[in-house]
């Protein structure tokens, strides 16, 4: 019962933080420059790993599709499955996993460290709003940086899947892949991919900020907070993924 | 004027403040003494709204901190400077940027370069020079960080200063320097200060009055002379060292 009550209190505090962010958003001069700096660091730092992970995802998808469908279905299906998988699932999700590990964990650790060393209190003491100074720039940066990263991840995954497919699947040609992708493609898949990526980006940065600001208890507490941020974000990402599935079907 | 009215605060089962009543008058420097863990820092954190009381209130210039709107609280905080025990400098920002944050109101910031001369002046007041301006806090010694923390607290030209162990960890020369700064700010600028300290020398040197926080309540409050003459055994035990020194003197 106590645990349930604590969990509900935590959800309440998260909702209050979300509302405080919404209230800050109409005043971009408080956070936008900082958000651009964070977006630059997030994007540049994460891009190589995002591209690498997406390439691996694309390469695995095309090979497994080829292995399972060869002889049963025409080979152009590889192109369709590759495009569908990357755009609707792997591109956003793999980007989110990289960003959660690289950026989410770093944000949670940084803010928790600031909390336990009274730096957050110092902001309050100076009459500054920690939400405008610390949280809004990071969340906005996540919103700015995720869509382009997801698009690049989609391209890298499709490119790698295409190339590896040609090498690994007997009889597959580029014409098959192109035909399959064109057969599948609809603009909604691209919009869906961007929406999903944006939601993932907001979730990762928001959860990292919230959990980080709840940090307490010295170095060990910072470690616990970081672990907690990664675990909660993983769960939330999978739940969001589940919630997005019916939206794809609806259009 | 800062008024603590029947202030109670507990953390879980630990009842730290058990009804603190204390008034700090305009322009006064009050030294707050007490054993470790009695809630001296907890008490002054209520004055700036960093902690919410379980019961009671803190009133700063007629504004109830417990009932203040966020805008009122921000305004009050701009008039209060807080010297943190461990400086609490932003470790990803340089000294100049740390000071710049305190020198400017949120959303109305001047350029960093424009604030530099003023920042040098603030550093000189705490016995530091401009060579530290572009350093990160991690590149400074503990004592230097502490002094930058003091410079940051006075950067907004506050009417009130809350000093949480301002001389702990400082060498005697710099501890004296901080004591002089507290006195100077009080005498020249009329700044009202609450100085939380373990250091009896600091308390007796800077305090117009001294208060002893004991077991969650104010046990005694008075001028340094009144505290030395106090016959309460708890107060006597606490100020004994100074009593002996006074007798020797």
CATH architecture of B2-92+158-248: 3-Layer(aba) Sandwich (3.40)
B173: how many CB neighbours lie within 10 A of its CB?
Answer: 9
Euclidean distance between CA atoms B80 and A95, whole angstroms: 45
Give dist(CA A246, CA A44) in Å, integer.
33
Every domain of chain B and the residues it spans: 2-92+158-248
pLDDT value of residue B174: 82
How near does any CA of chain B get to the CA of A247, in Å? Answer: 39
Residues of chain B positioned with their CB less than 8 A from the CB of A128? 101, 106
Q: Is any Cβ of chain B less than 8 angstroms from the Cβ of A132?
A: yes
Taking the CA of residue B92 and the nearest CA in chain A, the distance in Å comes to 10
Residues of B in contact with A132 (CB under 8 A): 106
**Of residues B74, B88, B156, nearest to A119 (C-beta):** B88
Domain ranges of chain A: 43-250
Answer yes or no: do B89 and A110 touch at CB < 8 A: no
Reading the block at residue B71, the tokens are: 């805008």
- Whether B124 and B76 have beta carbons less than 8 Å apart is answered as no
CB pairs under 8 A between A and B: 60
Do B196 and B163 touch, CB atoms closer than 8 A?
yes
User: Computed from CA positions of residues A198, A199, A201, A206, in that sequence, does the dihedral angle turn out positive or negative?
Assistant: positive
Residue A219 has a CB neighbour count (10 Å cut-off) of 10
- Across the interface, do B106 and A30 touch by the CB < 8 Å criterion? yes
Half-sphere exposure of A196 (CA within 13 A, CB side): 32
B150-202 confidence digits (pLDDT tens):
899 999 889 999 999 888 878 888 888 888 888 888 887 788 999 999 888 88
Residues of chain B neighbouring A121 (CB-CB closer than 8 A): 45, 50, 84, 88
Q: Which residues of A touch B48 (CB under 8 A)?
A: 124-125
> pLDDT value at position A75?
85
Contact A158, A82 (CB under 8 A): yes
**CB of B48 within 8 A of CB of A124?**
yes
**Cβ separation of B91 and A117 shorter than 8 Å?**
yes
- Tens of pLDDT, residue by residue over A13-39, are 999 999 999 999 999 988 999 999 999
DSSP state string for A119-181: HHHHHHHTT--HIIIIIHHHHHHHHHHHHHHHHHHHHHHHHHHHHHHHHHSTT--HHHHHHHH
pTM: 0.86
Which residues in A lie closer than 8 A to residue B91 (C-beta atoms)? 113-114, 117, 119
pLDDT of residue B245: 58
Q: Print pLDDT tens along chain A (251 aa).
A: 788 888 899 999 999 999 999 999 999 988 999 999 999 999 988 999 999 999 999 999 999 998 887 777 888 999 999 999 999 999 999 999 999 999 999 999 999 999 999 999 999 999 889 999 999 999 999 999 999 999 999 999 999 999 999 998 888 899 999 999 999 888 888 999 999 999 999 999 999 999 999 988 888 889 999 999 999 999 999 999 999 988 877 76
B157 touches A: beta carbon within 8 Å? no
The alpha-carbon radius of gyration of chain B (Å, integer) is 18
Give B13: exposed, middle or buried? Use CB within 10 Å, 0-12, 13-18, 19+: exposed
Q: Cβ–Cβ of A126/B156 closer than 8 Å?
A: yes
The C-alpha of B41 sits at a distance from chain A's nearest C-alpha, in angstroms, of 12
Residues of chain B whose pLDDT is less than 50?
none
Contact B197, B32 (CB under 8 A): yes
Contact yes or no for A207/A104 (Cβ under 8 A): yes
């Amino acid at each position: 019962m106590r645990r349930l009550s604590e969990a509900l209190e935590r959800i309440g505090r998260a909702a209050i933080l979300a509302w405080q962010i919404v209230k800050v958003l109409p005043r971009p001069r408080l956070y936008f420059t900082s958000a651009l700096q964070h977006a630059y660091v997030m994007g540049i730092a994460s891009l190589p790993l995002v591209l690498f992970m997406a390439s691996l995802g694309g390469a695995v998808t095309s090979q497994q599709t080829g292995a399972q469908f060869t002889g049963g279905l025409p080979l152009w299906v590889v192109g369709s499955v590759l495009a569908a998988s990357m755009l609707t699932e792997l591109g956003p999700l793999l980007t989110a996993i990289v960003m959660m590990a690289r950026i989410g964990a770093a944000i949670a650790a940084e803010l928790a460290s600031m909390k336990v060393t009274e730096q957050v209190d110092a902001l309050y003491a100076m009459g500054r709003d920690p939400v405008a100074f610390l949280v809004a720039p990071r969340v906005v940066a996540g919103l700015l940086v995720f869509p382009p990263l997801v698009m690049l991840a989609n391209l890298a995954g499709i490119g790698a899947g295409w190339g590896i497919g040609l090498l690994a699947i007997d009889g597959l040609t580029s014409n098959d892949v192109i035909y399959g992708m064109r057969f599948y493609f609809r603009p909604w898949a691209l919009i869906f991919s961007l929406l999903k990526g944006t939601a993932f980006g907001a979730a990762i940065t928001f959860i990292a900020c919230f959990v980080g600001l709840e940090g307490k208890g010295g170095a060990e507490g910072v470690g616990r907070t970081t672990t907690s941020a990664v675990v909660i974000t993983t769960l939330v990402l999978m739940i969001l993924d589940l919630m997005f599935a019916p939206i794809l079907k609806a259009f | 004027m800062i008024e603590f009215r029947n202030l109670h605060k507990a953390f879980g089962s630990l009842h730290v403040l058990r009804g603190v009543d204390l008034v700090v008058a305009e322009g006064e420097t009050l030294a707050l003494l007490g054993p470790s863990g009695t809630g001296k820092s907890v008490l002054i954190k209520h004055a700036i709204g960093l902690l919410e009381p379980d019961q009671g209130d803190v009133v700063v210039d007629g504004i109830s901190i417990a009932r203040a709107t966020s805008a009122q609280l921000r305004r009050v905080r701009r008039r209060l400077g807080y010297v943190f025990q461990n400086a609490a400098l932003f470790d990803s920002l340089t000294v100049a940027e740390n000071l710049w944050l305190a020198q400017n109101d949120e959303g109305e910031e001047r350029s960093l370069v424009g604030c530099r001369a003023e920042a040098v002046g603030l550093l000189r007041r705490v016995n530091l020079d401009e060579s530290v301006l572009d350093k990160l806090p991690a590149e400074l010694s503990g004592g230097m960080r502490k002094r930058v923390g003091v410079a940051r607290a006075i950067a907004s030209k506050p009417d009130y200063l809350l000093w949480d162990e301002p001389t702990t960890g400082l060498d005697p020369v710099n501890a004296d320097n901080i004591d002089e700064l507290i006195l100077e700010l009080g005498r020249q600028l009329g700044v009202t200060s609450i100085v939380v300290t373990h250091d009896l020398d600091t308390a007796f040197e800077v305090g117009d009055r001294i208060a002893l926080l004991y077991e969650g309540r104010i046990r005694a409050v008075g001028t340094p002379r009144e505290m030395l003459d106090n016959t309460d055994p708890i107060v006597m035990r606490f100020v004994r060292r100074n009593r002996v020194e006074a007798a020797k003197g």
